[in-house]
Each structure stands twice: as C-alpha cells, then as structure tokens.
C-alpha cells in the first residue's frame, strides 16, 4: 500500500552567517492513513521545517517528500496550492492572519474560495466545521480579530478541517495558556482524526501535547528517532484499556 506521506532520506540546510547549518539530515519515515504521529523536539530542532516540507511549503535540498506517491518538489506551485486546499491541511499558531473586520465564519469560508462553491454554501460548510470544533454560531459572527488565543486555535482547526483533508499537519498545539483548554484541544484532535480516518502529524516541544500518538518520534541535530524500527509508520490496532494507542510490530 502506498503511504499517504513519506520522507525518503530528506536533508535540508539553511545559511547561518557565513556557513550552513544542517536542519534535517537523512530523515526517512512514512505515515499511513488514520495514524497519529507525534514529533517531539526542542526549540530550533528542525521540527517546524520538517512540517513545512511535509506540506510542500519548502523544498528539500536532498531526498524526496511524497504525498500519495507524488513527489512534492516536482509539483508546480498551483498543484501544491491545490493539495494544501484539499488533501493536506497545515495549521501553525503563527499563521493567524484574518483580514481586518472579517467575521469568524467568513475567515473559515474564505479558505474555500477556490472550490467553486457559492458564498452561501461556503458559509454553511464553515459553520459546520466551526460547530464541530465547538465554536458557537454566535461566536462565528464576531470579528476574527477579537478572539482569544484558545478560540483562535479552534477557528484555525475549523479552517483546516473545512476542506476535509486526509492529513492534518499541526505545528505546536501547546500554545494555549490554559491547561484545560489545551487538554480539550488534544482530545478534540484525536476525536476528529478518528472520525475522519485522517492522519495527524503533530509537532511540539511538549511531549504532553503528543498524548495518544500511535507513533512517537523525536528530532535533534537534524536526525529523527522513531519508535518504529525502520522509520516506517503504519496503522496498528489501538489498545482499548486506558485509551492509549501502541504500535505493534
């Protein structure tokens, strides 16, 4: 079976003053549909770079990143853009950029702009996505710029989900100040992934944010360490007791 997302010997370097630093070095792993993969790494360990490569936002210097068998770096900009509006969703806390005065519903609906929907249908889908993540219709009519950090995170999740993606990439979900808000968000992420058979690739500098991950990875010095022996991430039966998920062999 073709993995949904795969990294094969991926390397990435960035200039740093007069020299180059290696951010990723020979990274290989695969993600199958419906699997939750958690990547732990300290600050500046390269985890966000890995996620941007997975989304096709950046290109690797060496190796290949494939989505559903297609090499992302050989796709045109518009093909990658289409992919990001359909099969792949990328969510990063720093990407909150609503237009001035835009309502929450419109902020979510706007991301459906190129799918040939009427404004009414786009808003209906946006409302459905917002409702699923727990944002009420009342809140939906508010200006997006007035939301709290916790509400913003939920709206960003709705914006990512409204396309019904096959893979959701989440960069640092542990940004909400309240622990209970964070826990609710982690539970919601897992529920949504389960409902939609959606793969999750979540990166965080807090291991607790990756709770429930079927596969755990860590990154340091450009190298990825994974609980899977050969760097292959496959869907496995979930353990019922205690709700934890464990990979098998």
Partner 1 sequence: MAEATTNTRGWMRGASAPLRGALLGIVLERPGHGGDLASRLVARLGATWRIDTNDVYRLLDQLVADGLVTANEEPRRDNQRRTRVVYRPTDLTENALTAWMETLLPREPVRLGLHAKLVVARDEDAPRLVAALRDYERECLRLAQLVAPTTHEMRSWTALVMDCTRDAVWRQLQSDVDWAALTRRRINERMRTRER
In terms of DSSP bridges, do strands 215-220 and 5-16 run parallel, antiparallel, or are they unpaired? unpaired
Span near partner 1 by CB under 8 A; candidates 125-133, 136-144, 146-154, 222-230: 222-230
Helices 149-161, 179-196: axis angle to 10 degrees equals 10
Q: Does 27 bind partner 1 (CB under 8 A)?
A: no
Q: Does 245 bind partner 1 (CB under 8 A)?
A: yes
How far CA 19 is from CA of 14, 15, 22, 44, 61, in Å, comes to 9, 6, 10, 17, 16
Q: Give residue 63's region: left, alpha or beta (phi > 0; psi -120 to 50).
A: left
Q: Does 2 bind partner 1 (CB under 8 A)?
A: no
Residue 122 or residue 210: which is nearer to partner 1 going by CB?
210
Q: Does 178 bind partner 1 (CB under 8 A)?
A: no
Single residue of 121, 178, 187, 238 touching partner 1 by CB under 8 A:
187
Q: Does 42 bind partner 1 (CB under 8 A)?
A: yes
Q: Does 177 bind partner 1 (CB under 8 A)?
A: no
Q: Give residue 212's region: left, alpha or beta (phi > 0; psi -120 to 50).
A: left
- Report the nearest approach of partner 1 to the CB of residue 214 (Å): 8
Q: Does 243 bind partner 1 (CB under 8 A)?
A: yes
- Report the nearest approach of partner 1 to the CB of residue 26 (Å): 14
CB 130 within 8 A of CB 104: yes
Q: How many CB atoms lie within 10 A of CB 37?
A: 26
Strand residue runs (E) in 54-123: 62-67, 70-71, 88-92
Span near partner 1 by CB under 8 A; candidates 3-11, 61-69, 146-154, 205-213: 205-213
Residue 137 or residue 244: which is nearer to partner 1 going by CB?
244
Residue 32: partners with Cβ closer than 8 Å, 6 or more residues away: 1, 3, 4, 199, 233, 234, 235
Single residue of 131, 220, 237, 238 touching partner 1 by CB under 8 A:
220
CB 149 within 8 A of CB 176: yes
Span near partner 1 by CB under 8 A; candidates 68-76, 93-101, 111-119, 207-215: 207-215
Residue 59 or residue 246: which is nearer to partner 1 going by CB?
246
Q: Site map for partner 1, 51-90, x if CB under 8 A?
A: ----------------------------------------
Cα–Cα–Cα angle for 22, 39, 181, nearest 5°? 130
CB contact burial 204-236 (16+ within 10 A = b; e otherwise): beeeebbbbbbbbbbbeebebebebeebebbbb
Q: Does 226 bind partner 1 (CB under 8 A)?
A: yes
Q: Which residues bind partner 1 (CB under 8 A)?
A: 40, 42, 180, 183-184, 186-187, 190, 206-208, 210-218, 220-221, 225-227, 242-247
């Amino acid at each position: 079976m073709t993995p949904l997302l795969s990294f094969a010997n991926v390397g990435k370097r960035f200039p740093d003053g007069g020299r180059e630093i290696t951010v990723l070095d020979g990274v290989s792993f695969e993600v199958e549909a419906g699997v939750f993969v958690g990547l732990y790494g300290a600050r500046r360990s390269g985890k966000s770079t890995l996620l941007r490569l997975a989304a096709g936002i950046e290109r690797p210097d060496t190796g290949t990143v494939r989505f559903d068998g297609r090499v992302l770096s050989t796709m045109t900009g518009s093909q990658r853009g289409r992919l990001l509006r359909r099969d792949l969703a990328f969510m990063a806390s720093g990407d909150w950029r609503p237009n001035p005065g835009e309502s929450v519903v419109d902020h979510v609906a706007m991301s459906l702009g190129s799918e040939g929907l009427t404004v009414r249908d786009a808003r209906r889908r946006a409302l459905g996505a917002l409702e699923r993540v727990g944002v009420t219709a009342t809140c939906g009519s508010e200006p997006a710029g007035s939301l709290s950090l916790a509400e913003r995170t939920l709206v960003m999740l709705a914006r990512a989900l409204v396309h019904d993606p096959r893979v959701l990439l989440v960069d640092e979900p542990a940004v909400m100040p309240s622990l209970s808000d964070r826990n609710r968000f982690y539970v919601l992420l897992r529920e949504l992934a389960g409902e939609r058979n959606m793969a999750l690739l979540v990166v965080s500098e807090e291991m607790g944010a990756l709770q429930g991950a079927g596969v755990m990875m860590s990154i340091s010095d450009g190298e990825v360490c994974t609980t899977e022996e050969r760097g292959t991430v496959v869907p496995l039966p979930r353990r019922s007791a205690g709700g934890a998920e464990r990979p098998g062999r």
